[in-house]
């Protein structure tokens, strides 16, 4: 199917995924359902009858500690960035995510299982243009030696640099245009990662209770403890996280992003700034047709 990013798209039928939450360690099941025009992406906690949908928008973010968490009325849904990246990368603009716990499943640590589930469910054009937003100025956010720079443009391009000061996780660079083909082949398969020396501290902080070599790349003194999918898998996963977090803008941003040692807090801050600066654009008088 030819995918036109000018249009709104939803799933042809529901898709489901089950697995362990990376930080909670809890077994969780999610179902992503088709949704109507202008619905956007939203999450609903099905284990709590009193819950209301939580829009996947930056104003609902409540935590960015090693993942991105949104919340409403005291209820939270965490580790949403991989699914959001998959939906954004595949152009799905409208969907309701029903999840029976406080965190999405980590699956294999990448966005690839979500991409495959979206492909299996199928996508349907809704024949209406996406919500547009005009960004006509550069935006930069910084914290120490970490930074993000957005510059308006006609394409979606990312340059990302990381350096963890480790013999097997030193400087890595990714540069490329983020279209659907590139996202699926070069970004979506990259898994979450950590240094083995950091694992104990994260566990003492109550995190990574569900982490294992099945869902993360752990880098020890002698190198990665599981085979890598890419020699530079770390920086590619950072691009994946960036794409997922910028999906919280709620519109299809266009331009270039340069990221230096950035993470979820800076990603979300950039999304916040872009959302505040963006000027809505009018749709054309007649909806574009097509599937």
The residue whose two tokens read 């519109």 is 251
Contact predicate 233/23, CB 8 Å: no
Contact predicate 68/78, CB 8 Å: yes
Listed residue (276, 205, 268) closest to 241, CA to CA:
268
Residues sharing a CB contact under 8 Å with residue 232, sequence separation 6 or more, in sequence order:
172, 173, 174
Contact predicate 185/160, CB 8 Å: no
Dihedral Cα 52, 77, 128, 151, nearest 10 deg: 130
Catalytic residue among 39, 264, 267, 286: 264
Locate all alpha helices (DSSP H) within the chain, ordered by sequence.
81-89, 112-121, 180-182, 196-204, 233-246, 264-277
> For this structure, is 237 an active site residue?
no
C-alpha–C-alpha distance, residues 278 and 246, integer Å: 13
Q: Which residues are catalytic?
A: 264
């Amino acid at each position: 199917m030819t995918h036109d990013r000018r249009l709104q798209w939803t799933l042809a039928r529901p898709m489901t995924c089950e697995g362990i939450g990376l930080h909670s360690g809890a077994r969780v099941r999610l179902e992503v359902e088709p949704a109507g025009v202008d619905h956007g992406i939203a999450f609903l906690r099905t284990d709590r009858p009193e819950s209301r949908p939580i829009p996947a928008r930056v104003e609902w973010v409540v935590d960015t500690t090693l993942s991105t968490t949104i919340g409403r009325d005291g209820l939270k849904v965490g580790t949403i960035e991989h699914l959001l990246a998959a939906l954004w990368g595949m152009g799905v603009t409208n969907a309701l995510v029903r999840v029976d716990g406080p965190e999405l499943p980590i699956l294999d640590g990448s966005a690839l299982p979500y991409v495959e589930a979206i492909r299996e469910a199928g996508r349907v054009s809704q024949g209406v243009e996406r919500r547009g937003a005009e960004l006509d100025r550069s935006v930069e956010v910084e914290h120490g030696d970490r930074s993000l720079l957005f510059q308006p443009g006609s394409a979606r391009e990312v340059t990302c640099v990381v350096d963890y000061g480790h013999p097997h996780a030193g400087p890595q660079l990714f540069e490329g245009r983020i279209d659907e083909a590139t996202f699926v082949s070069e970004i979506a398969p990259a898994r979450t990662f950590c240094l083995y020396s950091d694992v104990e501290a994260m566990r003492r902080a109550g995190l990574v209770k569900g982490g294992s070599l099945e869902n993360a790349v752990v880098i020890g003194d002698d190198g990665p403890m599981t085979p890598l999918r890419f020699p530079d898998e770390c920086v590619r996963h950072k691009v994946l996280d960036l794409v997922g977090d910028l999906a919280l803008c709620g519109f299809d941003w266009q331009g270039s992003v340069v990221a230096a040692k950035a993470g979820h807090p800076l990603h979300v801050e950039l999304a916040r700034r872009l959302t505040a600066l963006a000027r809505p654009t009018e749709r054309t008088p007649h909806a574009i047709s097509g599937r």
